[in-house]
Amino acid sequence: MKTLDWLLRLALAGVFICAAILKIANPAAFHAAILTYRALPESLVPVLALWLPWVELCTGIALLWSNHRRAALWIVAALNIVFLAALAQAAWRGLDVVCGCFGRPASVRGAGYLEYLARDLAFLLVAAWLLRREPSSRQAERARND
């Protein structure tokens, strides 16, 4: 089971680090993608487009660092809830959006939303599973003292 946890954590970290690097490399494309969701005031979009990829990068790295793993998993879960909400509102409003998930522009419309919703839900479930398996800081401290 520990191997599975390790593999899932590595995969999640890989996804977050890759997604972040691709977005950092092309901030204008990510900015443009966020605009298509029409969920935020336009003045906030540049700030989010410049800040979020770095959060993803630091979170991805922290997932591989035992001291910060639990906090990183909470951030992964929170980010995926935000991504799911953004996608769901766009699907509900019938918008044609650009995912912006991995830097490369991918248009999402109609039934295409299901694939992206399913993917983010899968990441959320992986984060929840790993959080359940991860010892809390108190348990970890107790284990160290024992």
State the nearest-atom distance from the C-beta of 141 to other proteins, in Å.
8
Nearer to other proteins, 32 or 121 (CB): 32
55 binds other proteins (CB under 8 A): yes
Q: Which of 13, 33, 101, 127 binds other proteins (CB under 8 A)?
A: 33
Structure-token match 């590595």, residue found: 10
107 binds other proteins (CB under 8 A): yes
Piece of the chain touching other proteins by CB under 8 A; list 4-12, 71-79, 86-94, 122-130: 71-79
Q: Which of 19, 57, 91, 130 binds other proteins (CB under 8 A)?
A: 57
In this structure, are residues 77 and 124 in contact, taking their beta carbons and an 8 Å threshold? yes
Sequence-separated contacts (24+) of 69-77 with Cβ below 8 Å = 69/9, 69/134, 70/131, 70/134, 70/136, 70/137, 73/127, 73/130, 73/131, 73/134, 74/131, 76/12, 76/16, 76/123, 76/127, 77/124, 77/127, 77/128, 77/131
For binding to other proteins (CB under 8 A), which residues are involved? 24, 26-29, 31-33, 35-36, 42-43, 45-47, 49-51, 53-55, 57-59, 62, 67-68, 70-72, 74-75, 96-98, 105, 107-109, 137
